[in-house]
């Protein structure tokens, strides 16, 4: 596998040149005194060093070794403890955390780039700090001040880790039917009992304590999702001064044997009257958890992006070095026995597909991250509400589209390597195995598509969609004629998506099956149009600076490839959706 190099130049391009992050942060209270362009650049450069040098070299060996379970204890692969300590001591676990409690205080638009780097270095390693950061978000937003002071400093510092305990053996997406119970105690604590499965980082040896956020039901809980509460359950109890006490009644029953992310401990967790503390209000646990979920779902999308970036780096290095056959127009390297395979049209198609999807995805994930920053930091109610609605609309797209394309890019990279892409020695097959889970956890991509189509588009009567569509229309109206080669196809594809959205809204009035039937293809059509918007904005910036640096010429070439070869995928997706739901119900269940 090629040595990982953080794509710092492209990250700076997106943050500073396309979205003008520093100017945005300067107008957001809470960020104006914390971050500017120079600070963000320094943060990204340091993160690039630690991920490339301390984490990436462990990836393949850690995958081979995996995690080890022994009588409830979990040992991570060789080198992980040292790498985690290096990562934690640099403050990276708390990169987006509250400064008053020890966090670095970076905006999500910056921490998203750090997430990409650590996950590209090793997706399995990146899951440990990712879950901790997510748990911190919910604690900071919903827990009492006492719990915040007691737990967050050590979590931001990486001394303690966090986990998110939702899924049960009988209850996946349908959390309303969970059976885990929480019984109130006289001292204000609760006794939590139940079993959770698929718990990432539920047990490991990287930190001295693990803080579990557990969904459970109180004795008087109403039925369904409205009866869920959220509890903080530490592995070791903690006194008021933050000192560790007795081991709590929470144990790891086993770890899963998985297709990929072997170095990430995926645990079965048993809570046997474990002491826990209520986070937020009773029966409002899902709301408290969803504070984290929007960030986590974007984070999972970034995992797909990171895997695609690593695949692209591997494939480019291999394609430049591998000699095989001659270019169709004759030898391009006559002094060699054959030309490098990068001269061949099909190899270029795969490389450019990866490059266009990675760079479009980086811009899109940064755009969503900036909406999250507006929600958190803006003091203008109208701006904050608009960003909240955009986050609601775009989060399922970010999670599902980025991870679907992450797998596509991993497979393209495998194909470029040919036979070497299929064997472990080169590391490419690991990317294919690892990225596959991103389409499943944090809500499968089918569920994400149903959320987009059913709740966000149909559920809002198209209002959320119109926010995004109107923004693109405003961009098109303000664009200079020099940008026409990009704005014309963007406008045409947006017309198609507008029409498709209206079609589904109309059909759903008389046939509810149309929502589910349309959802996956609709999300993909939406994603390609959103990427076209990102590429048009990037092309505008690159056109204004072409001739200054070869980087901008490459950016324009990649933009032209996207509009010529990838955006047309929208045509088939629209046709598929408009075929309707009828063909899905031509067979009875027993005919399958």
Band (291; pLDDT cuts 50, 70, 90): confident
Cα–Cα distance for residue pair 346/418, rounded to 1 Å: 13
Q: Mean per-residue pLDDT for 75-97? A: 97
CA atoms within 13 A on the CB side of 261: 27
pTM for the full model? 0.96
Structural domain boundaries in the chain: 451-582
For residue 586, the model assigns a pLDDT of: 95
Beta strands in 119-184 (DSSP E): 160-165, 181-184
Here the tokens at position 536 are 């048009």
- Whether the Cβ atoms of residue 43 and residue 106 lie closer than 8 Å to each other: yes
Here the tokens at position 50 are 């630690």
**Is 90 exceeded by the pLDDT of residue 295?**
no
For the packed helices 463-478 and 484-508, what is the interaxial angle rounded to 10 degrees? 160
**Is 80 exceeded by the pLDDT of residue 174?**
no
Length of the chain: 592
Reduce the DSSP state of residue 400 to 3 states and report it. Answer: helix
Band (286; pLDDT cuts 50, 70, 90): confident
* Average per-residue pLDDT for the chain: 96
Q: Mean per-residue pLDDT for 145-168? A: 96
- Whether the Cβ atoms of residue 229 and residue 256 lie closer than 8 Å to each other: no
For residue 293, the model assigns a pLDDT of: 79
Cα–Cα distance for residue pair 455/239, rounded to 1 Å: 43
What's the burial of 52, exposed, middle or buried (CB within 10 Å: 0-12/13-18/19+)? middle
For residue 290, the model assigns a pLDDT of: 79
Q: Mean per-residue pLDDT for 77-101? A: 97
Please give the backbone phi and psi of residue 200, each rounded to the nearest 5 degrees, phi first: -70, 125
pLDDT, tens digit (0-9, with 9 covering 90-100), for 360-406: 999 999 999 999 999 999 999 999 999 999 999 999 999 999 999 99
Of 96, 268, 146, nearest to 198 by C-alpha is 268
* % of the chain surpassing 70 pLDDT: 100
Q: Name the residue with tokens 């109890």.
A: 237
For the question of residue 442 being annotated catalytic, the response is yes
Of 251, 246, 227, 250, nearest to 236 by C-alpha is 246
pLDDT, tens digit (0-9, with 9 covering 90-100), for 36-75: 999 999 999 999 999 999 999 999 999 999 999 999 999 9
Cα–Cα distance for residue pair 538/554, rounded to 1 Å: 11
From the candidates 116, 168, 408, 442, which is the catalytic residue?
442
Q: Mean per-residue pLDDT for 251-275? A: 98
Here the tokens at position 354 are 């990866």
Cα–Cα distance for residue pair 19/113, rounded to 1 Å: 14
- Whether the Cβ atoms of residue 355 and residue 89 lie closer than 8 Å to each other: no
CA atoms within 13 A on the CB side of 299: 26
Band (550; pLDDT cuts 50, 70, 90): very high
For residue 402, the Cα-to-chain-centroid distance in whole angstroms is 8
DSSP secondary-structure letter at 13?
Answer: I
What's the burial of 290, exposed, middle or buried (CB within 10 Å: 0-12/13-18/19+)? middle
- Whether the Cβ atoms of residue 296 and residue 313 lie closer than 8 Å to each other: no
- Whether the Cβ atoms of residue 250 and residue 271 lie closer than 8 Å to each other: yes
Cα–Cα distance for residue pair 295/282, rounded to 1 Å: 23
- Whether the Cβ atoms of residue 211 and residue 234 lie closer than 8 Å to each other: yes
pLDDT, tens digit (0-9, with 9 covering 90-100), for 558-581: 999 999 999 999 999 999 999 999
What's the per-residue H, E or C state across 295-347?
A: HHHHHHHHHHHHHHHHHHHHHHHHHHHCECCCCCCCCCCCCCCCCEHHHCHHH
Helix (H) and strand (E) counts in the chain: 18, 11
Reduce the DSSP state of residue 379 to 3 states and report it. Answer: coil
Cα–Cα distance for residue pair 39/302, rounded to 1 Å: 22
């Amino acid at each position: 596998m090629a040595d990982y190099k953080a794509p710092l130049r492209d990250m700076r391009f997106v943050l500073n040149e396309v979205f003008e992050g520093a100017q945005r942060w300067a107008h957001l209270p809470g960020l104006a005194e914390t971050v500017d362009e120079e600070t963000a650049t320094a943060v990204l450069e340091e993160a690039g060093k630690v991920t490339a040098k301390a984490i990436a070299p462990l990836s393949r060996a850690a995958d081979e070794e995996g995690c080890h379970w022994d009588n409830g204890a979990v040992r991570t692969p060789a080198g992980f403890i040292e790498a985690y300590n290096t990562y934690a001591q640099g403050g990276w676990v708390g990169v987006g955390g509250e400064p008053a409690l020890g966090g670095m205080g970076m905006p999500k638009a910056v921490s998203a780039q750090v997430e990409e780097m650590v996950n590209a270095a090793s997706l399995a390693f990146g899951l440990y700090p990712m879950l901790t950061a997510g748990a911190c978000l919910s604690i900071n937003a919903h827990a009492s001040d006492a719990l915040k002071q007691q737990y967050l400093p050590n979590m931001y510092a990486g001394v303690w880790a966090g986990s998110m305990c939702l899924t049960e053996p009988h209850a996946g997406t349908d959390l309303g039917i969970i059976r885990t119970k929480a019984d109130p105690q006289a001292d204000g604590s609760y006794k939590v009992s139940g079993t959770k499965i698929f718990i990432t980082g539920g047990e490991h040896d990287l930190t001295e304590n693990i803080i579990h956020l557990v969904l459970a039901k109180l004795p008087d809980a109403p039925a369904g999702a409205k009866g869920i509460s959220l509890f903080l359950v530490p592995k070791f109890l903690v006194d008021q001064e933050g000192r560790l006490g007795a081991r709590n009644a929470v144990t790891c029953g086993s770890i899963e044997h998985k297709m990929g992310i072997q170095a990430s401990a995926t645990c079965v967790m048993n809570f046997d009257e474990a002491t826990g503390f209520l986070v937020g209000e009773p029966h409002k646990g899902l709301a408290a958890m969803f504070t984290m979920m929007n960030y986590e779902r974007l984070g999972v999308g970034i995992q797909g992006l990171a895997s695609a970036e690593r695949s692209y780096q591997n494939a480019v290095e291999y394609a430049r070095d591998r000699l095989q056959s001659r270019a169709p127009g004759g030898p391009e390297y006559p002094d060699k026995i054959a030309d490098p395979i990068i001269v061949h049209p099909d190899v270029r198609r795969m490389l450019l597909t990866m490059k266009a999807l990675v760079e479009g995805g980086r811009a899109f994930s940064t755009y969503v991250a900036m909406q999250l920053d507006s929600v958190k930091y803006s003091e203008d109610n109208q701006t904050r509400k608009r960003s909240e609605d955009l986050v609601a609309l775009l989060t399922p797209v970010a999670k599902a589209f980025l991870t679907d394309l992450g797998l596509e890019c991993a497979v393209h990279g495998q194909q470029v390597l040919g036979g070497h892409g299929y064997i472990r020695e080169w590391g490419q097959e690991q990317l294919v195995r690892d990225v596959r889970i991103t389409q499943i956890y944090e809500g499968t991509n089918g569920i994400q598509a149903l959320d987009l189509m059913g709740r966000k588009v149909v559920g809002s009567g198209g209002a959320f969609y119109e926010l995004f569509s109107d923004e693109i229309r405003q961009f098109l109206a303000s664009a200079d004629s020099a940008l026409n080669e990009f704005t014309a196809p963007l406008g045409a594809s947006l017309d198609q998506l507008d029409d498709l959205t209206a079609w589904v809204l109309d059909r759903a009035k008389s046939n509810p099956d149309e929502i589910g039937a349309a959802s996956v293809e609709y999300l993909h059509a939406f994603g390609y149009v959103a990427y076209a918007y990102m590429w048009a904005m990037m092309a505008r910036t690159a056109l204004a600076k072409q001739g200054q640096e070869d980087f901008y010429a490459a950016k324009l070439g990649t933009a032209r490839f996207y509009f010529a070869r990838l955006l047309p995928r929208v045509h088939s997706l629209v046709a598929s959706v408009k075929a309707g739901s009828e063909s899905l119900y031509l067979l009875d269940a027993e005919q399958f």
